[in-house]
Structure formats: structure tokens, C-alpha cells
Amino acid sequence: MTHSSILSDLPVLPLAESFALTEAYNLDTFPKKVNLGQGVYRDEECQPWILPSVRSAEEFLHRQHLNHEYLPIPGAAEFTKEARNLLFSPQLAQNENITSVQTVAGTGANHLAALFCARYLRPKHVFISDPTWDNHHLIWETAGPDIKRKLYPYYDPLTRSLNFDGMIAELENSAEENDVVILHACAHNPTGIDPTHTQWEKIADIVAKKRLFVVFDSAYQGFASGDLDADAWAIRYFYSRFFEGASLPISATPSGMIVCQSFSKNFGLYGERIGALHLVTPPSVSPRGAYTHLVRLIRAEISCPSLFGERCVHIILTDPELRSKWEEDVKTMASRIQRVRMSLKLELENIGAQGNWDHIERQIGMFSYTGLSKTQVRRLKDVHHVYMLENGRMSLSGLNGKNVAYVARAIKDVVDRD
């Protein structure tokens, strides 16, 4: 006798691609295999790197014999203050129209932002770059199922550069007042292509004209360029233009802005899941009510955030010696990624790989959007045991001096076959 259940009708869903790719890589026994799929930093030996500043913070905290009590629902106030200072600058962060809560890394911040917008902003559309980090779609699908997800052009495959005109045209023609637009603050994932300052100003023009609600995703501050201030430029520009000082006419300003901040990449605290969400309101609008609703959502979902990683970040940002050491650590990671970019490009050129590879060096951050097709990526994995996402996104941290020539030859093989 069999028992039927509604659960038996649920289809088996595939594992998220990046995690499935890592699982396949781990099972591969080929000695020269290369993992260019997972978005985590690796050192020159392709091993996980614990930042020296983080190691020092861990040792300091261990000596303190601290307890493991619950944090408040919105997180540790001293941590969110320093997170806000880092992102907006200490001067801007003092303004009372920025309110902050601790989150479960950048993913938790994005999910909280989507929940908040879906329940209280109620936009008709959310605009997401094409392409984007795949979790943006899943987050908005689950948190705001009634909100229509629309794509705005971002990548031009012919020039392997930003499709800026297409982006602006789509927002101009399709966006409606109160719609949400997700913007990557720096080191766009997956393309590694960021707008120029002039282009950011024009994006702000369309945000103001259409009265859109901006959600910035900031996962790579410092990691992208090695310069913490440069990587926060777009966020600070939007804040200073729309939300600082005297109120602008309603017709010339968005109703608010959210910044989702992650400490996974720039502190190497991937598994500790440390992040923050910053809600910005116009100067004339008190954020108190919105803050209490954020707290309510956190209480329902996680009750309160995690403790240890928050303590690590806080002590590093507030201790001058550790802060200086951390800033050097961030530069170390950014510099290594920039070096392997140049090495791969030069190697491809030296061996005569078909096509132009300048875009690899022009892009920024952990990823390169290679321009390889799904067929080419599949052959890289099946024949050469080089793993990357099907859309051609390569995580450059998996490259080093020992394997860059092998990867370049593998790429040459797949592109020369077409």
C-alpha cells in the first residue's frame, strides 16, 4: 500500500550552479584540474587565505574569554556604526537619515531588502542587470513573487564592455515611479565592468527623473581596486546628491535607498556570514518607523544575527594597528588579482589564441567575463578539467603562476575550434 502526499509531487531542483561546479571539481581526480568557478579568494598556491589582520583579531578575541550571548535583534550597534563609517565615510555616516542593521552577510542583506521593499514599498517592477549574480533573481523570486523582475541591458558581447546606452534606454522606457533598480556598487558580478563616474552621474539622472528606489549591492569594497574610498564612490555620490543636506524637490529625488554590504570577500569571512543593511531616507523623513519594520522582519527570520565574525570586523575597524594591517591585506588581494589578469592576457596573446583579450585586463575585481560560449566552457571542463560558470564567468583567484599557462592553452584550444 502506498501513501500519496503533496510532497511527492515536488520536482527535484538542481543545486545552484557555482556550488554544483565546486562539488564536481572536488570529485575530479585529474592532477591539473583548475577551479575558476567559485567566488572566493585563493592565495598563490590556490589555498584559502586567512587574512593576517583577521588571524590577529581572532587571537585577540580568544584571549578575552568572551561570552556567547545573543546579540540584539538589529545586531551590535558598535559594529553597524563602523560598517556605516566604512561605506559612507565617517563624515556622511553621522547623518541621522542613515539607519543600519546587521545581516547574514550580503545575501541576507539583499533578502532583507527584497522583503522590506515587497511589503512596504510595493514596487511594480524590480530592474536587475543582464547579466547579474544569479542569487538576485532567486532572492526576489522568493521574497517578492508578485513583483515583476525585468532585465536592463548591461553587457555588450560584441565590444565586451558596458552596454550603457541600452541600460539607460531600458530604464527610461520601462521603469515606473517607485520601481526598484539593483545596482552593483563596484566590481560588477559577473562582468567585472563598472560605469565611469560620468556614467554613474547619468544613471543618477534617470533615477531622479523616474523616481526609482535604488538598492546598491556592495560586496567588494577594497577588494575591487585596493582603494576603499574609490570602491564606495558611487554609493557616496548617490547619497550626497539625493539625501544629504537640504531637501530636494520631490520630483527630483528618489524616495529612499538601501545599501547591502558584505564582509565575506574583503575580510575573507565567508563562512561567518557577516553583513549589514543601510536604509537611507530623505532628510525630511524620519527613518524610525522603517527601522522598526526591518527589526520585525529580522526577528521573524533569524531572531538575531551572528556574533563571532561581527567581533572580528569590529575590532579590526576600531584598532588602528589592525585597521592598517587589514588595509594592506585588502591591497594584497586586489593586487594579486590584477597580476593574474595581466598574466592570463599576455599568455593568451603570446600563444596566439584567436581573438582580442584586452577585456580581461580592463575588467575589475574577482571575476572576468571571458566571452566564452557555453559550448566552449563545457569543453574546458570535459576535456581540460578547467571549471568555470556556463556564462563564461571566470574567478581569477583560481589562477597562479603554476597554472596560468595551462589555462591559456586550454582556452586557445576551445576558441580555435570555432
Tell me the CATH class for 16-50+335-416. Answer: alpha beta
Residue 254: per-residue pLDDT = 84
Do the Cβ atoms of 102 and 276 come closer than 8 Å?
A: yes
Using the predicted structure, report yes or no on whether residue 140 has a pLDDT greater than 50.
yes
Architecture of domain 70-318: 3-Layer(aba) Sandwich (3.40)
| 385: Cβ contacts below 8 Å, ≥ 6 apart | 28, 30, 32, 33, 34
Residue 283: per-residue pLDDT = 86
- The pLDDT tens digits for 186-237 are 999 999 999 999 999 999 999 999 999 999 999 999 999 999 999 999 999 9
Residue 284: per-residue pLDDT = 83
- The pLDDT tens digits for 231-274 are 999 999 999 999 987 555 655 678 899 999 999 999 999 999 99
Do the Cβ atoms of 152 and 130 come closer than 8 Å?
A: yes
Mean pLDDT in residue range 12-27? 93
Residue 246: per-residue pLDDT = 57
Characterize 148-170 residue by residue with b for buried, 16 or more Cβ atoms within 10 angstroms of its Cβ, and e for exposed.
Answer: ebbebbbbeeeebebbbeebbeb
Do the Cβ atoms of 248 and 285 come closer than 8 Å?
A: no
106 closest CA partner among 220, 200, 183, 22: 220
Residues marked as catalytic = 133, 217, 265
* Confidence band for 301, pLDDT divided at 50, 70 and 90: very high
* Confidence band for 360, pLDDT divided at 50, 70 and 90: very high
Using the predicted structure, report yes or no on whether residue 411 has a pLDDT greater than 90.
yes
* Confidence band for 9, pLDDT divided at 50, 70 and 90: confident
The answer to whether the 16-50+335-416 and 70-318 domains have the same CATH topology is no
Domain spans of the chain?
Answer: 16-50+335-416, 70-318
Residue 279: per-residue pLDDT = 97
DSSP reduced 3-state for 47: coil
| pTM (two decimals) | 0.95
Gap between the Cα atoms of 266 and 276, Å rounded: 14
Do the Cβ atoms of 200 and 242 come closer than 8 Å?
A: no
Residue 250: per-residue pLDDT = 57
Q: What are phi and psi of 100, to 5 degrees?
A: -130, 145
Using the predicted structure, report yes or no on whether residue 355 has a pLDDT greater than 50.
yes
* Confidence band for 4, pLDDT divided at 50, 70 and 90: low
Q: What is the CA radius of gyration of the chain?
A: 22
195 closest CA partner among 397, 364, 337, 341: 364
